[in-house]
Structure 1
Amino acid sequence: MTTDFKDRAETVAQGAALIARAAPEVMKSFGALGAAATAAGALDTKTKELMALAIGIATHCDGCVAYHTRAALKHGATRKEVAETVAVALYMGGGPAAVYGADALRAYDQMAGAAGG
C-alpha cells in the first residue's frame, strides 16, 4: 500500500478547517491549546513535535503521523531524530507502533524529498 503522506497531512488540516466552520469557538480553543503546547519553552518546538509524533505512532493515528512528521520537518527535524522518535514510540507502543513508525519514516522521506531535503 502506498500512502501519500503529504496528502494525508493536508487532509488533516482540511478536516480541522471543516470543523472550524462548524464549531468555530471549539477549534479556536483547540488551536490555541496546540499553539501553547508546542510553543518554545524549556523544550523547543521541534522536540515537542517529535513528542507529538511519538504519541501519534503509539496511539496508531495515521493522520497524526503525517501531520506531526510534516511539522517536525518544518521545525528542522532530521531523519535520524525521526528514527529515534520512532524507536521510543516502538518501545512504548509495542509491535503495532512499528507499523506506524515505519510510516513516519516513509512520510519523512517523502516530504523531505519533495522539499529538496
Structure 2
Amino acid sequence: MTTTEKPESEALATVRARRGYVLPVHELLDEVSPEILARYDALTAELLFAEEPRALDLKTRYLVLVGVATAAKNDPDGIVYFGKRALKHGASRREVLEAIALSGLPAGMPTIEAATQVLDRLFDEG
C-alpha cells in the first residue's frame, strides 16, 4: 500500500522560507492545524527573528536560548542550533560556554555535564 504525500501547506512553506528548514514540531503542528502552525511561527518570528530594535540583540537572544536548551536537559540539538547561531551573531566561544554554565544554577550541574556531550558538534567548523 502506497501513501501519497499531501502538498505542503502555505504555513509550512512559510516556516521553510523564513528558517531554511522545517522541524518535526512544525510538521506536527501543521498536521494538527496549519492555522496553529502559522500562529506559532508568527510568535517565534516576533520573539526571535524580528530585526527591529529590541532590548536584546540577536546574539543575546540566542545565548539565552543556549541556556534554556541546556537547562531543558533533553535538547542537545537545541544547544548546538542556538549556540551556532549565537556564534554567527558575534558571540565568543567563552560566551556560549558561560550560557551553558549558567544553566547549572537553576537546573543543576548534570545539565552542564550533558551539554559537554555536544560541544564537539557545537564548535566544529562545518
Structure 1 length-normalised TM: 0.70
From 12, 16, 27, the counterpart of 1:18? 27
**Aligned partners of 1:37, 1:102: CA distance in 2, in Å?**
28
Instruction: Give the counterpart letter for 1:73 in structure 2.
Output: L
Partner of 1:48: 61
Instruction: Give the counterpart letter for 1:35 in structure 2.
Output: A
Structure 2 length-normalised TM: 0.66
Moved more, 76-85 or 34-43: 34-43
Asked which structure has the greater CA Rg, the reply is 2
Instruction: Give the counterpart letter for 1:27 in structure 2.
Output: L
**Aligned partners of 1:71, 1:94: CA distance in 2, in Å?**
25
C-alpha root-mean-square deviation of aligned residues, in Å? 2.2
Alignment size in residue pairs: 101
Question: Which residues of 2 match residues 12-91 of structure 1 at below 5 A?
Answer: 13-19=22-28, 21-22=30-31, 23-38=33-48, 39=50, 40-60=53-73, 61-91=75-105
Q: Where is the helix percentage greater, Structure 1 or Structure 2?
A: 1
Shift of residue 47 of structure 1?
Answer: 0.3
Higher RCO, 1 or 2 (CA under 8 Å, sep at least 6)? 1
- Segments of structure 2 that go 5 or more residues without pairing to the other structure are 1-20
The residue matched to 1:30 in structure 2 has which SS?
helix
Shift of residue 51 of structure 1?
Answer: 0.5
- Segments of structure 1 that go 5 or more residues without pairing to the other structure are 1-11
**Aligned partners of 2:41, 2:113: CA distance in 1, in Å?**
28
**Aligned partners of 2:117, 2:39: CA distance in 1, in Å?**
30
Instruction: Give the counterpart letter for 1:64 in structure 2.
Output: G
